[in-house]
C-alpha cells in the first residue's frame, strides 16, 4: 500500500463553476423564454362518467383552441335558439372552473347569457360536460386550453360582458407567487376585452391573494371598484354577488372559519 492511499480523501471540491447561463432574449414575435404558467397539469383520473360525457357531449360543447377571433354568435347559436333570445347575447368568460360546480349553477340561473369557460384540468372538463348533460344546459362552451392564450388570440377587444375567476390557485409559497394568475398584465388584457359597463369578479379564500387582487385591479385605469363596504377590514371588498353559489369546497372552508373575499370591478 503506498502512502497516497492512506491520505484522507480529498476535500470536496469547491463549488464547481456553473456553466454560465446564457440569457436568451426572444426573437421578435416569438414567446421565449417560456412564459410562467398559472397552472401545472395535475394528474387526475377521468371517471367513466366523465369519459362518456367527453364522447357524447364534447363535439357539441367543446370549442377547439384557435389562433383567430372566436365568432361568439356562431359558437352560441344553438343556445340563442333554445332560449329564444337574439343571436348576440351577453358573454361571460370564466377562467379555471375546476370541476364546474359554480359554472353549471350560474349558467342554469342565466340561460339568456353565454358562458365561455376555460380549464386545463381534463377531469374537470369531463366533470363540467357531465353536469351540462345532467342539467340540460345549453349556454356553456368550453375551451380546454390555457386561458391566457385564449384571451390573447380568441377574444376581441370589448367583446365580453363579464369575467369570473373563482378561487384561482393561490400559489401560497413566496417563490411561487409569480405563478398567480391575477397580475397586472393579464388584468390589463381582460379589462381591454370587457365592454364598457362589463364586470370582473374574482373570489379567493387566501387573504394575501385577496389583497394582491385588490391592489392589481385598483391600479388598472380601465377598471373601477364597485364596492362600497365601510367595514374597516372589508374596505374595497364586495358582498358576495347573489349568482355565485356556495360550493362544497367553500362551505367546508367557512365551517373551518376561513374567510372568503369577493372583488368586483367594473369596466369604465
Ligand X SMILES: C[S@@+](CC[C@H](N)C(=O)[O-])C[C@H]1O[C@@H](n2cnc3c(N)ncnc32)[C@H](O)[C@@H]1O
Catalytic residue among 31, 169, 205, 262: 169
Compare residues 40 and 268 and give the one whose CB is closer to ligand X.
Answer: 40
**Residue 165 CB, nearest approach to ligand X (Å):** 8
Instruction: Report yes or no: 129 and 107 within 8 Å, Cβ to Cβ.
Output: no
Q: Tell me which residue of 117, 64, 63, 126 sits closest to 99, measured CA to CA.
A: 126
Residues that bind ligand X (CB under 6 A): 38-39, 95-98, 102, 118-121, 124, 146-148, 166-169, 181, 247, 249
Q: Please tell me the distance from the alpha carbon of residue 199 to that of residue 201, in angstroms, as a whole number.
A: 6
Instruction: Report yes or no: 215 and 222 within 8 Å, Cβ to Cβ.
Output: no
**Residue 250 CB, nearest approach to ligand X (Å):** 7
Residue with the shortest CB distance to ligand X: 96
Compare residues 79 and 118 and give the one whose CB is closer to ligand X.
Answer: 118
**Residue 42 CB, nearest approach to ligand X (Å):** 7
Compare residues 117 and 217 and give the one whose CB is closer to ligand X.
Answer: 117
Does the active-site annotation cover 169? Answer: yes
Q: Which residues contact 190 (CB under 8 A, 6 or more apart)?
A: 93, 151, 160, 163, 200
Is the bond preceding 33 in cis, omega lying within 30 degrees of 0? yes
**Residue 110 CB, nearest approach to ligand X (Å):** 17
Compare residues 80 and 129 and give the one whose CB is closer to ligand X.
Answer: 129
Q: Which residues contact 64 (CB under 8 A, 6 or more apart)?
A: 143
Active site residues: 169
Amino acid at each position: 500500500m503506498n502512502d497516497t492511499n492512506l491520505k484522507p480523501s480529498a476535500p470536496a471540491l469547491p463549488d464547481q463553476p456553473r456553466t454560465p447561463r446564457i440569457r436568451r432574449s426572444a426573437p421578435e414575435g416569438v414567446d421565449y423564454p417560456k412564459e410562467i404558467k398559472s397552472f401545472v397539469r395535475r394528474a387526475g383520473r377521468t371517471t367513466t362518467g366523465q369519459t362518456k360525457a367527453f364522447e357524447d357531449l364534447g363535439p357539441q360543447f367543446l370549442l377547439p383552441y384557435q389562433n383567430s377571433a372566436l365568432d361568439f354568435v356562431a359558437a352560441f347559436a344553438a343556445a340563442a335558439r333554445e332560449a329564444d333570445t337574439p343571436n348576440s347575447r351577453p358573454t361571460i368568460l370564466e377562467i379555471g372552473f375546476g370541476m364546474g360546480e359554480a359554472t353549471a349553477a350560474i349558467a342554469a340561473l342565466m340561460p339568456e347569457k353565454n358562458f365561455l369557460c376555460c380549464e386545463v384540468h381534463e377531469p374537470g372538463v369531463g366533470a363540467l360536460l357531465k353536469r351540462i348533460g345532467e342539467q340540460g344546459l345549453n349556454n356553456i362552451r368550453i375551451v380546454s386550453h390555457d386561458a391566457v392564450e385564449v384571451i390573447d388570440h380568441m377574444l376581441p377587444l370589448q367583446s365580453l360582458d363579464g369575467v369570473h375567476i373563482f378561487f384561482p390557485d393561490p400559489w401560497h409559497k413566496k417563490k411561487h407567487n409569480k405563478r398567480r394568475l391575477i397580475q397586472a398584465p393579464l388584468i390589463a388584457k381582460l379589462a381591454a376585452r370587457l365592454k364598457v359597463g362589463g364586470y370582473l369578479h374574482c373570489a379567493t379564500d387566501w387573504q394575501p391573494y385577496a389583497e394582491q387582487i385588490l391592489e392589481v385591479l385598483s391600479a388598472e385605469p380601465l377598471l373601477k371598484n364597485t364596492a362600497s363596504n365601510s367595514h374597516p377590514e372589508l374596505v374595497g371588498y364586495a358582498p358576495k354577488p347573489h349568482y355565485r353559489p356556495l360550493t362544497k369546497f367553500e362551505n367546508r372552508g367557512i365551517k373551518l372559519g376561513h374567510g372568503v373575499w369577493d372583488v368586483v370591478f367594473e369596466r369604465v
